């Protein structure tokens, strides 16, 4: 005669597979959230770095402004600051592939429309991030 045990202990194969499916969906969601967090942190880091570099370039341009100051000399100052010494590459750009070449500076100089003797100095840094163009722009006034 066979005795049946009505008290079952443990999990069935179906219960285990469902639990693994639920766990894998949760882990995939967490992995996606981690990837988005890393990407957002990288974007913030690039933006903070660009603002700091643009402020430094603007400060150097403001300190160098003289009556014979030109757009070319302002652009040269920007590239000298973005690239390592002796690493200016072709036509004042950082060599491709270097970490420094992430930013492309654009400098604008113009006369103040309101007050004579003031020069408006603009510094813009442009870079590519995940196929999207990002820009930081700063403008200041300098007295000759």
Q: 15-24, 31-40, 75-84, 127-136: lowest mean pLDDT where?
A: 75-84
- Stated pTM of the model: 0.68
Maximum distance among all Cα pairs of the chain, rounded to whole angstroms: 112
Map out the domains of the chain as residue ranges.
13-143
**Beta-carbon count within 10 A of 142 CB:** 18
- Determine what percent of the chain falls in helix, strand and coil, rounding each to the nearest 5: 50, 20, 30
Q: 6-15, 91-100, 101-110: lowest mean pLDDT where?
A: 91-100
Average pLDDT over residues 20-31: 96
Average pLDDT over residues 110-120: 75
Instruction: Assess contact for 79 and 125: CB atoms under 8 A.
Output: no
Q: Using alpha carbons, select from 89, 142, 82, 94 the residue that is nearest to residue 118.
A: 142
């Amino acid at each position: 005669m066979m005795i049946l045990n009505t008290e079952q202990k443990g999990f069935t194969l179906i219960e285990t597979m469902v639990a693994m499916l639920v766990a894998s969906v949760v882990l995939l969601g967490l992995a996606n959230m981690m990837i988005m967090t890393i990407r957002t942190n990288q974007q913030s880091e690039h933006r903070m770095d660009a603002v700091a570099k643009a402020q430094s370039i603007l400060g150097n341009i403001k300190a160098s402004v003289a009556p014979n100051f030109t757009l070319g000399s302002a652009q040269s100052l920007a590239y000298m600051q973005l690239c390592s010494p002796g690493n200016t590459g072709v036509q004042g750009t950082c060599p491709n592939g270097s970490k420094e070449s992430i930013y492309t500076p654009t400098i604008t100089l113009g006369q103040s429309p309101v007050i004579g003797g003031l020069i408006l100095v603009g510094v813009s840094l442009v870079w590519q991030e995940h196929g999207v163009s990002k820009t930081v722009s700063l403008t200041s006034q300098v007295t000759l």
